[in-house]
Structure 1
Amino acid sequence: MGDARRYHQLSSPFPMKRGGALRGARVAYETWGELDADRANAILILTGLSPSAHAASNAEDPSHGWWEDMIGPGRAFDTDRFHVICVNSLGSDKGSTCPASNDPATGAPYRLDFPELALEDVANAAYEAVTGMGIVRLACLVGCSMGGMSALAYMLLHPKSVRTHISVDTAPQAQPFAIAIRSLQREAIRLDPHWNNGQYDDASYPEHGMSIARKLGVITYRSAMEWNGRFARIRLEPDQREENEPFGFEFQVESYLEGHARRFNRTFDPNSYLYLSRASDWFDIGEYGEGDVLKGLARIHVEQALVIGVSTDILFPLEQQETIATGLRASGADVDFVALDSPQGHDAFLVDIENYSRAIGGFLATLNP
């Protein structure tokens, strides 16, 4: 299997919002479709916390992407019309410079010496990658979950660089419930003795902490409605239970979470997870509006926007997406707000492809690259 991943070298030093700078840093990205002669048909996708830049399969890498059914000829992100780019977040270990990367000053991994990371840094790194391709103005900027917050920062920090915007299941600032969940996830990792203040390795790795962090995440990514519908109170068969294990797994939902945790473990660097998680908590568009979120949003200027939310999302509640729509309208954008009733909660954008395709494909069909 080939690797479709490409890299953009960031300016060096690359200044970070909260102090410090990176030297010799880079971000990974992948692309689909062709860039037109005017370089005016580019769509940039910014991801949630854990995905890589591999949003869909392509000739170099035919493996399934995290948004596979959304990108391609005739799909919502129609690659016959648009040049689609997905950038891996700065701070993520999926090819971009992150705490697991080597610090050129020492030759050893940064670990906790990595500078404090803000989503504004993620936005600035993605902007450098886009402008490095000779793209002055994006036809559309798309942000999913954490990437939606990064997208708001991108448009604020780089005026006139984006024509239209698609906001997917995100928020203009983290609310206390989301902060509380992410705080517990970070605590689970930090309290694992193998985390060792970030000084772990493959032989001594914080499996337990990462497992609990992932389980907490999965619980909040879906809705109570879906948990009830999928699992009810169904118990495991006797041969599926852990013999001689006090308080061991008894219900199917417990086994499901364990399976998710096992698949996630060792696929994401724990320190990178901590940095990106905290960056999500810190983000607040109100900082750009004298403490007022709507004033901050009103400083963003795009021609059109599509804001999608899900009524069952407990991590990024629908009212937060309504706030984004209201703020963008106040700045003069023509905004479509779509509230979906998908039972899958926050993860609906990865699962309810039919409804998201209809909304996003319909919106993009009206654009003239």
Structure 2
Amino acid sequence: MTEFIPPGSRFVDLPSPFPMKRGGELHGARMAYETWGELDAAGDNAILILTGLSPDAHAASSPADPTPGWWEAMLGPGKPIDTDRWHVICVNTLGSCKGSTGPASPLPDGSGPYRLEFPPLSVEDCADAAAHVVRALGIGQLACVIGNSMGGMVALAFLQRHPGLARHHVNISGAARALPFSIAIRSLQREAIRLDPSWNGGRYDDATYPESGMRMARKLGVITYRSALEWDGRFGRVRLESDRAGEDPFGLEFEVESYLEAHARRFVRRFDPNCYLYLSRAMDWFDIGDYCAGRCGDSHTDTLAALASIPLGKALVIGVQTDILFPLQQQEEIAAGLAQGGTDARFLPLESPQGHDAFLVDFARFGPAVGGFLDTLRTPRTAGARIDA
């Protein structure tokens, strides 16, 4: 399967070997990233963006790649993440197929792609790889790390495993641990891919791509990324025009079905199925409460204790009331745990009707929230055990 690397990507080599949390190691691995804005003389205005499962490092347009990025409305001169003020780095997640080493990448010996020979991937591996990029770029401490969705998980692991590498944090629709509903959805997505005969135990190519499995996985994901409120308001029970309906008596009949089909078809040939499987499972495995020394008694208490151990100045934790995939109580838990440890943490529930994907589309709400928080940050010149704002 082919990797899909944005033309503006730059690369940092990971240490060789690069040990993985659940065993195994990578050799000759790399991370893809893009940057915007200038690092100031003190080197203390850097922001790191960690993405969801499918986005690449191309968060916004740049001279190297003028095409719009996936967060174009949020990032750039005069925008909420103002690149006239901030030096912004966005990394493509380890395990992806968008430039960073993953199952679709060639093996070190050049014999073919890793496929299922890629070691088990964890959120912690993604965090460690991102931390290496930051240090390789000569940045001693980030002003802020911003994590969206899966990137919110990676950000928490990053902060827990690399204390002091960031002063502040914005967590958007993230989670400190995977909940049963989300695990169940992702399990069905993985099953749809694996049951497609063309998946063939991970041994497919462009000619034998498991398109049906990926289409079903993507459709199921899109359904959970938005809310029932939006589906109803956007599509209602509108039927397709008769000349647009297929001849299959059980085929597409409603506008919402046509939308899901078109959305899935745009995605399936632009993402590697094995990478999808690895990243999806990494989210299911993640539980920051595993880092509660000696275990604290129950999962919620463990989670709060692990979050409280993270040294931060300020944090903004944003959730969406209509999010069913990463429900609001997960962001409230993150804010409560960080505050328990002394962080000036603010929990902001938004009323967007657009569910989990609201941060990708509802810029009228997310722009002022993120931009307003960043405007409150000032740059400390000294660092202590607890980082002050």
Q: Same fold (TM over 0.5)?
A: yes
The residue aligned with 2:63 is 59
Distance 1:133 1:317 in 2: 35
Distance 2:246 2:194 in 1: 27
The residue aligned with 2:231 is 227
Question: Structure 1 residue 257 and structure 2 residue 260: aligned?
Answer: yes
Q: CA deviation at 1:106?
A: 5.5
**What does 1:58-77 align with in structure 2 at a 5 Å threshold?**
58-77=62-81
The residue aligned with 2:369 is 359
Distance 1:135 1:33 in 2: 14
- Count of matched residue pairs: 367
SS at 1:195 equivalent: helix
**TM-score when normalising by structure 2:** 0.93
Question: Structure 1 residue 49 and structure 2 residue 53: aligned?
Answer: yes
**What does 1:19-38 align with in structure 2 at a 5 Å threshold?**
19-38=23-42
Percent identity over paired residues: 65
Q: CA deviation at 1:37?
A: 1.4
Q: Aligned match of 2:270 in 267, 272, 279?
A: 267
Q: CA deviation at 1:335?
A: 1.1
The residue aligned with 1:347 is 357
Structure 2: stretches of 5+ with no match in the other structure: 1-5, 380-389
SS at 2:349 equivalent: strand
Distance 1:105 1:124 in 2: 24
Backbone CA RMSD of aligned residues: 0.9
Distance 2:344 2:188 in 1: 39
Deviations 1:154-212 (A, max 9, x none): 00000111100000001110100000000000000000000000000111110000000
Q: CA deviation at 1:351?
A: 0.7
Q: CA deviation at 1:107?
A: 2.4
Q: CA deviation at 1:9?
A: 0.2
Q: Aligned match of 2:331 in 304, 314, 321?
A: 321
Distance 1:322 1:183 in 2: 25
Deviations 1:24-62 (A, max 9, x none): 000100000001112110000000000000000011111
Distance 2:13 2:305 in 1: 34
Q: CA deviation at 1:145?
A: 0.1
Letter of the 1:284 partner, please give it: D
SS at 2:197 equivalent: coil
Q: Aligned match of 1:310 in 298, 320, 339?
A: 320
Distance 2:54 2:7 in 1: 19
Letter of the 2:64 partner, please give it: E
**What does 1:109-188 align with in structure 2 at a 5 Å threshold?**
109-188=113-192
Misfit runs of 4+, over 6 Å: none
**What does 1:94-113 align with in structure 2 at a 5 Å threshold?**
94-105=98-109, 107-113=111-117
**TM-score when normalising by structure 1:** 0.98
Distance 1:246 1:156 in 2: 54
